[in-house]
Amino acid sequence: MYVPKHFREEDQNRLLQYIDNYSFGMLVVADEAGIEVNHVPFHLIRGGEDAVGYLQCHLARANPIWRRVQGGAWVLAVFQGPNAYISPSWYPTKAETGRVVPTWNYLAVHVQGAARIVEDSDWLARHVRDLTDRHEAAMDAPWSVDDAPAEFTERLLDAIVGVEITIETLTGKLKASQNQPERNREGVRRGLESSDGSQAQAMAPFLESTRPADR
């Protein structure tokens, strides 16, 4: 991923938090058989002294891609946060010089690391429970794996395989108009906040969090 210095995010804790916040990502496998992308929810396990952390996901056993990951294959996981079109009309400098063009603001995090396939039933049960509990926590009446009949969930667990990726490299890009003068950035923030789209409104706070004084 091309990351100009204006948009480079190097704070490891922020990058891990972005992954946790936008955890539905893409698992990319590239080898002699070609390139394949699978869209899956990930569960982040933050590491201790020996590792940055781990990404866990699962695939259908019927999906042949998991066999290409066996043996510690190097894979890429891609996570994308909010993104929004940026109109030149939001820049105060448009009226002064006219030297402005549209662009796009967005957040993206790339993770590279060695993957291992996990078929252990206890690991799979724990993974599915952790993933479910993470996303059910905000529900008014959280659903639990225990709410389903045991024989039913056990049969479904037999139909999946787990993937655990050791996080080796983290690359973050947060493009939030950092290369613009502050008055243009303020115009972009106001424009995003007044937009109808949820993506644009979600992008607006990043204009505030990336002010030079805060970096």
Distance CA 170, CA 115 (A): 15
Q: What's this model's pTM, rounded to 2 decimal places?
A: 0.92
Q: State the virtual CA torsion across 192, 193, 194, 200 in degrees, nearest 10.
A: 40
Cα–chain center distance at 99: 34
212 CB neighbour count, 10 Å cutoff: 8
pLDDT of residue 48: 67
Average pLDDT, the chain: 93
Domains of the chain: 5-210 (2.30.110.10)
| Contact (CB, 8 A) for 56 and 42 | yes
Select from 57, 53, 58 the least CA-distant residue to 16.
53
Select from 193, 44, 162 the least CA-distant residue to 109.
44
pLDDT of residue 44: 97
| Token pair recorded at residue 5 | 């210095």
Regions in the chain scoring below 70 on pLDDT: 48-49, 212-215
98-109 pLDDT, tens digit each: 778 999 999 999
Q: Which helix (H) or strand (E) holds 129?
A: helix 121-136
> Strands 74-86 and 103-118, how do they pair?
antiparallel
pLDDT of residue 57: 98
| Token pair recorded at residue 99 | 């030297």
pLDDT of residue 212: 62
Question: Helix axis angle, 198-209 relative to 182-193, nearest 10°?
Answer: 150
| Contact (CB, 8 A) for 36 and 63 | no
